[in-house]
Amino acid sequence: MGLLSGKNKEVLVGPLSKNNPVIVQMLGICSALAVTSKLEPSIVMGLSVTAVVAFANVIISLLRNTIPNRIRIIVQLVVCAALVTIISEVLKAFAYDVNKQLSVFVGLIITNCILMGRLEAFALGNSPWESFLDGIGNGLGYGIILVIVGFFRELLGSGTLLGLQVIPQAFYDFGYADNGLMILPPMALIVVAVIIWVHRSRNKDLQEN
Amino acid sequence: MEELLSTFVRSVFVENMIFAYYLGMCSFLAVSKNVKTALGLGIAVTFILVCTLPINYLLENYVLKEGALSWLGARFAEVNLSFLSLLIFIAIIASFTQLVEMVVEKFAPALYASLGIFLPLIAVNCAILGGSLFMQQKAFANVGVASVYGLGSGIGWLLAIVGMAAIREKLAYSDIPKPLKGLGISFIITGLMGIGFMCFSGLKI
């Protein structure tokens, strides 16, 4: 088996668009919306989720033949909670400000549906390497949506990207104003809805009747 | 009494779990297709929140917090177990969900049949864990306030999902651009409802 055979490539790349966890599978929406008012926390959140999903997938996949079926949810939760605790301590140590902004949402990675969804649907039935790729793919698919939403909300809402001013002062002198509504929670939903609209008009087979 | 009332109103309207923090969105979008099931899930979520929040509050204040173990004697006064809080909270929630599932199955089989699939899913509903984490962040004065906060958050969640389900039932008859159908339009409606709920912000009693 090559490092990236045809099937493995599909496992890794599929979730980026065709099978995206957020806009197609409808998983992990809670955190996708809440942390995206700025670009930086979106990126950090995307990376944290990718790391947790990938490693939780590997661990569960290694254990998959020894876990009794009836208590598997609790085992999965314990594995996730341990990984998330590690991530949250790391963030506290190296990126304290971002950690402050993400507040409870780091802890909420445990109940992120992407995590449980992938563990249930993929890691329980596949080998560790494939599960690892699946975790990376889904984490990045989630991250991409977060980054797109964060990009637009920060650009239109405060005229900055990663905290740097990108809209020149001259625009403001002409009467351009930041759209404060973009910072508020409800606009995240509308931005995601627009992404879904664009994505589905390009992939006709995803449309619902 | 005043504090209880104001906590309740705040958690139902101002800090609504769905419209202010987006917690529990996954099941909110997946289960809000008809009013009856939405109501059942809403009640179940409220119940679990009311039960787990006081337990987690007591654990947080008498076991996990820095210096919380001082009632065991001076030797334990400096122990800080707060890094364990995620694990403990999720364990309490998961076991409570299991317990409720077993009790409902034994004593109310009819309710169990109508809720069946949603009950186990509550363990991974972000609104429940979110409630506990917010409780930790807000440092409530006593266990009564914590329970009222749980009740309020649950009722807020219930209101949101029932309202959403009612709108979606009507939506079946409207003419929506094809790519927006289903998920897309639900997002937009949730956003609009969120803007509506924003008029409560700053409300004080």
**Closest-CA distance of chain A to residue B87, Å:** 5
Residue appearing with tokens 């109508």: B114
Rounded mean pLDDT for each run of 10 residues along chain B, 205 residues in total? 84 84 79 80 86 89 77 74 81 83 80 68 78 84 88 92 90 82 84 85 71
Give residues with Cβ within 8 angstroms of A15, minimum separation 6. Answer: A21, A134, A137, A138, A140, A141
Q: Answer whether residue A1 shows pLDDT above 50.
A: no
Q: What residues in A contact B164, CB-CB < 8 Å?
A: none
Residue A130 resides in a domain: yes
Residue A16 resides in a domain: no
Residue A17 resides in a domain: no
Mutate to test the interface with B, among A22, A29, A90, A103 (most CBs of B within 10 A): A29
Tell me what pLDDT residue B116 has: 60
What's the whole-model pTM score?
A: 0.81
Tell me what pLDDT residue B152 has: 92
Residue appearing with tokens 């159908």: B181
Give the ipTM. Answer: 0.76
Q: Answer whether residue A5 shows pLDDT above 70.
A: no
The residue range of the domain holding A84 is: 27-206
pLDDT tens digits, one per residue of B23-54? 888 778 777 777 887 887 888 888 888 988 99
Residue A62 resides in a domain: yes
Mutate to test the interface with B, among A102, A149, A189 (most CBs of B within 10 A): A189
User: Beta-carbon neighbour count of residue B85 at 10 Å?
Assistant: 21
For the residues A155-162, what does the mean pLDDT come to? 80
Tell me what pLDDT residue B197 has: 84
The distance from CA A18 to its chain's CA centroid, rounded to whole angstroms, is: 15
Q: Answer whether residue A156 shows pLDDT above 60.
A: yes
Number of compact structural domains in chain A: 1
Q: Answer whether residue A63 shows pLDDT above 60.
A: yes
Residue A14 resides in a domain: no
Contact (CB<8Å) A108/B129: yes
Contact (CB<8Å) A29/B25: yes
Tell me what pLDDT residue B115 has: 65
A30 at the B interface (CB within 8 A)?
yes
Tell me what pLDDT residue B117 has: 61
Distance CA A102, CA A44 (A): 9
Residue A18 resides in a domain: no
Give residues with Cβ within 8 angstroms of A141, minimum separation 6. Answer: A15, A16, A17, A19, A20, A21, A22
pLDDT tens digits, one per residue of B48-78? 889 889 998 988 888 877 777 777 777 777 7
Residue A121 resides in a domain: yes
Tell me what pLDDT residue A177 has: 77
Q: Answer whether residue A4 shows pLDDT above 70.
A: no
Nearest chain A residue to B95 by CA: give it.
A74
Tell me what pLDDT residue A209 has: 59
Q: Of B201 and A146, which is predicted with more confidence?
A: A146
Distances B182 to A108, B28, B117, B171, B195 between C-alpha atoms, Å: 26, 13, 22, 9, 20
Tell me the residues of chain B between 162 and 191 that have a Cβ less than 8 Å away from chain A.
177-185, 187-188, 190-191
Contact (CB<8Å) A189/B194: yes
For the residues A97-109, what does the mean pLDDT come to? 78
Q: What residues in B contact A184, CB-CB < 8 Å?
A: 195, 198
- Could you give the 3-state DSSP secondary structure of residue A161? strand
Residue A118 resides in a domain: yes
Task: Indicate the helix (H) or strand (E) that contains A191.
Answer: helix A185-202
